């Protein structure tokens, strides 16, 4: 059978684009369809714009610090429209870069939605069908609003933040995961009054307890109000509150809801408290983009949350159809999607079956201060085997000089039996940069003694990773 392409990729995010380019470099004919903007979540509405907002939000405190270091600084107000204009200009530029990379690689692009017809065929939005020897699904994920909260459509999700016409004065963030915490710090740094409602007892569930505890403490010191054991029960436009209270507690919307930012919102918590906010931001999870792709019609298995089920080689339950990235629900990180795309090409087009390595992935949370982590948490490591915990927390030189209370954390978890470093956790400005380097050592299986043999770079915060000689405790 003759095919239009050797490979057809559905999705123009980081993983799909990388797979398409690498396959084309192997001399394969490749088509790629993207229904939104080329670059996907990371480039257009995720990692890149978020990190630029992190940078923007840090200059307020930097200006305050500069004054204490002797600089004559006049601190002005943050100009959101000016920043936003430049931000979108940069995203437009990056989208153009992605399009150029695909074009120069020989990939044929289709700015259209594509759905599966059978294991070798996709249908584009204009009804045209394309055939391919192999199909790769890389459609990513999307933020979701809770289904059990009345008028949840009035709330923002992460995609909306970058398109706000103006910053709210007072915002409520629902959730305590990394997206919630990152945006809480960003918006707080930009002058927004931020409160958080989270169901659990602490932010950043799944991260090292000691590390997330320090982050929470620092967030509170910066003015972020964190309500634990709390969730949202009800919400509506503040102007409709009295009518709603008289509606016998029903969960039905009171008429047509206003658009985002057109008026304050009234919320009621599971604890019975009531409050008003200019905006409510739901950071309560993401879902894979698998709706209406035709998966069920051709027998592609999906999981409980809609994620595409794949094997170690990213193959679905249907021959010739593969999936990578967030749509598979494995590890939802951009660099992981890219590596999965490269492993897919090795497996399918280079006759080199390559399973995806999801072990010991370094990650960073861009709170203020940042969290960098690789390997096991203390709780996970202690449950696995006897460990020694090497840990130090201190005021870094830059802040201590001007009497700031902020502290940093450096932590290594070491197997008592093998002396291998099982986990490394850093809470500090620049932790994301540090953990990339530490991740190399942990991935290589370095022991505590390997760390000890490295000469310290002085004076730095990270030198503590190679100077901690005595465990603070064993577990």
Active site residues: 458
Q: At a CB cut-off of 8 Å and minimum separation 6, what does 180 contact?
A: 173, 174, 196, 198, 203, 281, 283
- What is the length of the chain? 475
CA distance 312 to 252: 45
Burial class (CB within 10 angstroms; exposed 0-12, middle 13-18, buried 19+) of 383: exposed
CA distance 63 to 332: 35
Burial class (CB within 10 angstroms; exposed 0-12, middle 13-18, buried 19+) of 72: exposed
CA distance 442 to 446: 5
Residue 46 phi/psi, 5-degree rounding, is -145, -115
């Amino acid at each position: 059978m003759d095919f239009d392409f050797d490979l057809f990729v559905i999705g123009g995010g980081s993983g799909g684009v990388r797979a398409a380019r690498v396959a084309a470099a192997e001399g394969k004919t490749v088509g790629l369809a993207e229904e939104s903007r080329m670059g996907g979540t990371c480039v257009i509405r995720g990692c890149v714009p978020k990190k630029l907002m992190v940078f923007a939000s840090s200059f307020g405190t930097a200006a305050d610090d500069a004054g204490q270091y002797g600089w004559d600084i006049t601190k002005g107000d943050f100009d959101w429209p000016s920043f936003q204009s430049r931000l979108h200009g940069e995203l437009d530029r990056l989208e153009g870069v992605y399009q150029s990379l695909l074009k120069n690689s020989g990939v044929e692009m289709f700015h259209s939605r594509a759905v599966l017809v059978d294991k070798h065929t996709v249908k584009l939005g204009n009804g045209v069908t394309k055939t391919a020897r192999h199909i790769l699904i890389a459609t990513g994920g999307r933020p979701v609003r809770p289904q059990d909260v009345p008028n949840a459509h009035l709330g923002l999700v992460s995609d909306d933040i970058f398109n706000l016409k103006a910053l709210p004065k007072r915002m409520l963030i629902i959730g305590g995961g990394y997206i919630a915490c990152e945006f809480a710090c960003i918006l707080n740094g930009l002058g927004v009054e931020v409160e958080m409602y989270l169901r659990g007892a602490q932010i950043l569930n799944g991260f090292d307890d000691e590390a997330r505890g320090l982050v929470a403490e620092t967030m509170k010191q910066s003015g972020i109000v964190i309500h634990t054991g709390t969730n949202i029960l009800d919400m509506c436009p503040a102007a409709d509150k009295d009518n709603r209270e008289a509606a016998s507690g029903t969960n039905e919307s009171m008429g047509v809801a206003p658009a985002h930012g057109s008026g304050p919102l009234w919320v009621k918590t599971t604890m019975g408290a009531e409050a008003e906010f200019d905006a409510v931001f739901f950071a309560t999870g993401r879902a894979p983009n698998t709706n209406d792709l035709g998966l069920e019609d051709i027998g592609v298995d999906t999981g409980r949350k809609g994620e595409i089920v794949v094997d170690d080689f990213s193959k679905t339950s249907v021959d010739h159809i593969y999936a990578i990235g967030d749509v598979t629900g494995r590890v939802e990180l951009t660099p992981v999607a890219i590596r999965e795309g490269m492993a897919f090409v090795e497996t399918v087009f280079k006759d080199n079956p390559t399973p995806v390595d999801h072990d010991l992935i370094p990650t960073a949370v861009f709170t203020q201060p940042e969290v960098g982590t690789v390997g096991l948490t203390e709780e996970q490591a202690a449950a696995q085997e006897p460990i020694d915990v090497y840990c130090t927390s201190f005021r870094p030189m830059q802040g201590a000089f001007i009497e700031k209370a902020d502290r940093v954390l450096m932590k290594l978890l070491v197997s008592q039996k093998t002396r291998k470093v099982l986990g490394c956790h850093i809470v500090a400005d620049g932790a994301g940069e540090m953990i990339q380097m530490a991740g190399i050592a942990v991935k290589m299986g370095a022991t505590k003694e390997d760390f000890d043999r490295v000469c310290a770079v002085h004076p730095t915060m990270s030198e503590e990773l190679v100077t901690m000689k005595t465990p603070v405790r064993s577990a």
